[in-house]
């Protein structure tokens, strides 16, 4: 085969006994342990974005599932080879409903209003790729080991097409080269879309007389007018969308990989076609475990430009949202269920991230200046971290993991002012490990100064606290006019007060979704 395994440096991470990561596997329809072909080394491929526009927060929900898998695997001492691609050619507008139908998303973007900003489609791809990387960093996602691009793997895709034709699994027509799904009896094993079912279902929208059967999918499209085209044994054209992920996964991770991910819409046809191509090429199982993230909804609805509820990370950051709070809100629900992103969820996430930041600052101050004394936290923080990790190992139960982590932050904040050096050290270790696992305390890699933190309140923490106490005293004395005035004054300075069972807390006000 074409592939050569990509080597990485040996891991310096600690081994963590027999802990294992359990995830829902779309193929076997059950939660099962992720099996590693090579002990202690996870080979993971997650489908990345098509760079025809800014990635939206739904895309990021899926990328964050991959990020959490990487972080959780590393937390139990696995070395992770993580590959996430960039699709910059061949993803057609109707690829989800019919084979090779519609126009290339990249070409359509160039003809749109936004496209007027670019000289050509290559420049457009480059721009949105760097925008993606910025947003990726803002939301504190781990960089993949490789971020391969479809356009840079043309040779591999053409060779794979040749090999599939040679194996009689693909055939050429006047319009392109198609994979013969009947040559691969396992077609349909991931999605349940059998060849029989396909004849009368989703993919019969476009009838292409040149194909032997409707379900056969494109490996190569002949197109002399396409803006991105390469010369192949079948003339000028471009590859089908599914082929890039087969060749790039196998090139960088080997013919059999441990885990493959993406959003729920990729189960069919994209991943089904990847399996058929890869297993025919190598004669080996392609992937043992398939993980798919359910869609993000915004205010209960599917995100769409037409519904006006379509948000990118930069939209929200531009309105003052804290990037780590966006991250927090996007991971607050388990990936196997739809998640509803609302003003309330973003605002709750903002207060929670603020709690982690304050705990971090309190601990840093104590490390600088605290005196000797007992570690008041005893094993409490250690136990909370272990519970958070267990939750993540159990099919990425982020809601439980975040709740445990938050309980730890609250425990630290309750001891503010009385923390000894020893206690500060165990609190620091807790926050560091929580951050490595969930990425919500601080950025792993510092952002440029202008973006590092959300808009600062016009007044400092001590003064806000003093005003909160004055407001509590005013309420007690039934001077509601004064209490309201204090709330309004803080509101005008960008501070929102929340009355909770644990007392009044303050948060920096954030973006609104409406």
Binding partner of residue 303 among ligand AMP, Zn ion, none, CB cut-off 5 to 8 Å per kind? ligand AMP
Residues 52-91 that bind ligand AMP (CB under 6 A): 58-59, 61-62, 87
Determine what percent of the chain falls in helix, strand and coil, rounding each to the nearest 5: 45, 15, 40
Q: Does 266 bind ligand AMP (CB under 6 A)?
A: yes
Write down the least CB distance from residue 285 to ligand AMP, Å: 22
Tell me how far apart the alpha carbons of residues 245 and 264 are, in angstroms, rounded to a whole number: 16
Is the torsion defined by CA of 347, 351, 353, 354 positive or negative? positive
Identify the DSSP state of 217: E
Q: Does 303 bind ligand AMP (CB under 6 A)?
A: yes
Segment contacting Zn ion by CB under 5 A, of 29-37, 41-49, 59-67, 410-418: 41-49
| Count of residues engaged in binding Zn ion, rule: CB under 5 A | 2
Instruction: Please count the residues of the chain.
Output: 514
Q: What is the chain's alpha carbon radius of gyration, rounded to the nearest angstrom?
A: 26
Between CA 61 and CA 51, with CA 302 as vertex, the angle to 5 degrees is 55
Position among 278, 293, 398, 435 found at the interface with ligand AMP (CB under 6 A): 293
Identify the DSSP state of 183: G
| Count of residues engaged in binding ligand AMP, rule: CB under 6 A | 16
Position among 3, 49, 353, 419 found at the interface with ligand AMP (CB under 6 A): 49
Between CA 40 and CA 229, with CA 63 as vertex, the angle to 5 degrees is 105
Binding partner of residue 245 among ligand AMP, Zn ion, none, CB cut-off 5 to 8 Å per kind? Zn ion
Task: Compare residues 50 and 397 and give the one whose CB is closer to ligand AMP.
Answer: 50
Write down the least CB distance from residue 47 to Zn ion, Å: 3
Position among 144, 239, 240, 263 found at the interface with ligand AMP (CB under 6 A): 263
**Bridge partner list, 291:** 261
Tell me how far apart the alpha carbons of residues 488 and 34 are, in angstroms, rounded to a whole number: 52
Task: Compare residues 247 and 298 and give the one whose CB is closer to ligand AMP.
Answer: 298
Closest CA to 76 of 37, 41, 25, 32: 41
Task: Compare residues 22 and 294 and give the one whose CB is closer to Zn ion.
Answer: 294
> Alpha carbon of 361 to those of 120, 356, 422, 441: distances in Å?
47, 9, 16, 10
Sequential DSSP letters for 238-306: EE-HHHHHHHHHHHHH-SSBSEEEEEGGGIIIIIHHHHHHHHHHHSS--BS-EEEEPPEEETTEE--TT
Q: Does 267 bind Zn ion (CB under 5 A)?
A: no
Write down the least CB distance from residue 404 to ligand AMP, Å: 25
Position among 265, 301, 343, 499 found at the interface with ligand AMP (CB under 6 A): 265
Q: Does 295 bind ligand AMP (CB under 6 A)?
A: yes
Task: Compare residues 160 and 245 and give the one whose CB is closer to Zn ion.
Answer: 245
Task: Compare residues 230 and 295 and give the one whose CB is closer to ligand AMP.
Answer: 295
Is the torsion defined by CA of 322, 324, 327, 328 positive or negative? negative
- For 495, phi then psi, to 5°, come to -115, 130
Q: Does 47 bind Zn ion (CB under 5 A)?
A: yes
Position among 148, 254, 262, 269 found at the interface with ligand AMP (CB under 6 A): 262
Binding partner of residue 122 among Zn ion, ligand AMP, none, CB cut-off 5 to 8 Å per kind? none
Task: Compare residues 75 and 250 and give the one whose CB is closer to Zn ion.
Answer: 250
Q: Does 332 bind ligand AMP (CB under 6 A)?
A: no
Query: Six-digit token pair at 177?
Result: 């080269």
Write down the least CB distance from residue 43 to Zn ion, Å: 15
Contact 142, 67 (CB under 8 A): yes
Interface with Zn ion (CB under 5 A): 47, 245
Interface with ligand AMP (CB under 6 A): 47, 49-50, 58-59, 61-62, 87, 262-263, 265-266, 293, 295-296, 303
């Amino acid at each position: 085969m074409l592939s050569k395994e990509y080597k990485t440096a040996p891991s310096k991470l600690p081994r963590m006994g027999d802990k294992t990561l359990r995830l829902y596997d779309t193929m076997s329809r059950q939660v099962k342990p992720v099996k590693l072909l090579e002990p202690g080394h996870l080979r993971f491929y997650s489908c990345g974005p098509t760079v025809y526009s800014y990635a939206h927060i739904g895309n990021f929900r899926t990328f964050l599932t991959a990020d959490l898998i990487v972080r959780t695997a590393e937390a139990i001492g696995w070395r992770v080879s993580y590959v996430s691609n960039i699709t910059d050619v061949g993803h057609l507008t109707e690829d989800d409903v019919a084979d090779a139908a519609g126009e290339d998303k990249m070409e359509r973007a160039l003809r749109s209003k936004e496209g007027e900003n670019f000289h050509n489609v290559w420049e457009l791809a480059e721009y949105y790729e760097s925008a993606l990387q910025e947003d990726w960093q803002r939301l504190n996602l781990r960089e993949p080991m490789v971020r391969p691009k479809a356009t840079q793997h043309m040779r591999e895709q053409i060779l794979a097409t040749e090999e599939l034709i040679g194996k009689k699994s693909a055939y050429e027509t006047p319009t392109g080269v198609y994979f013969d799904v009947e040559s691969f009896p396992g077609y349909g094993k991931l999605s349940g879309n059998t060849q029989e079912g396909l004849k009368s279902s989703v993919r019969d929208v476009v009838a292409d007389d040149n194909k032997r059967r409707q379900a056969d999918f494109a490996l190569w499209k002949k197109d002399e007018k396409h803006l991105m085209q390469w010369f192949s044994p079948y003339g000028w054209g471009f590859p089908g969308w599914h082929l890039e992920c087969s060749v790039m996964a196998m090139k960088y991770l080997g013919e059999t990989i441990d885990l493959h991910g993406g959003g729920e819409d990729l189960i069919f046809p994209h991943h089904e076609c990847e399996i058929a191509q890869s297993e025919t090429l190598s004669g080996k199982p392609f992937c043992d475990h398939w993980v798919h993230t359910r869609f993000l909804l915004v205010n209960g609805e599917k995100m769409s430009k037409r519904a006006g509820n379509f948000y990118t990370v930069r939209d929200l950051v531009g309105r003052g949202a804290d990037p780590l709070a966006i991250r927090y809100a996007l991971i607050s629900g388990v990936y196997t269920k739809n998640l509803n992103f609302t003003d309330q969820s973003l605002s709750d996430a903002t207060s929670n991230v603020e709690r982690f930041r304050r705990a971090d600052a309190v601990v840093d101050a104590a490390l600088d200046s605290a005196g000797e004394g007992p570690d008041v936290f005893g094993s409490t923080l250690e136990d909370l971290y272990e519970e958070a990790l267990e939750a993540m190992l159990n099919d990425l139960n982020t809601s439980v993991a975040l709740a445990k982590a938050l309980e730890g932050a609250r425990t630290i904040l309750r001891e503010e002012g009385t923390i000894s050096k020893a206690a500060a050290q165990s609190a620091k270790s807790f926050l560091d490990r929580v951050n490595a696992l969930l990425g919500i305390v601080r950025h792993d890699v510092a952002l440029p100064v202008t973006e590092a933190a959300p808009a600062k309140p016009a007044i400092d923490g001590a003064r806000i606290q003093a005003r909160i106490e004055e407001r509590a005293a005013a309420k007690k004395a039934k001077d509601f006019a004064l209490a309201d005035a204090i709330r309004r004054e803080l509101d005008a300075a960008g501070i929102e007060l929340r009355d909770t069972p644990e007392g009044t807390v303050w948060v920096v006000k954030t973006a609104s979704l409406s």
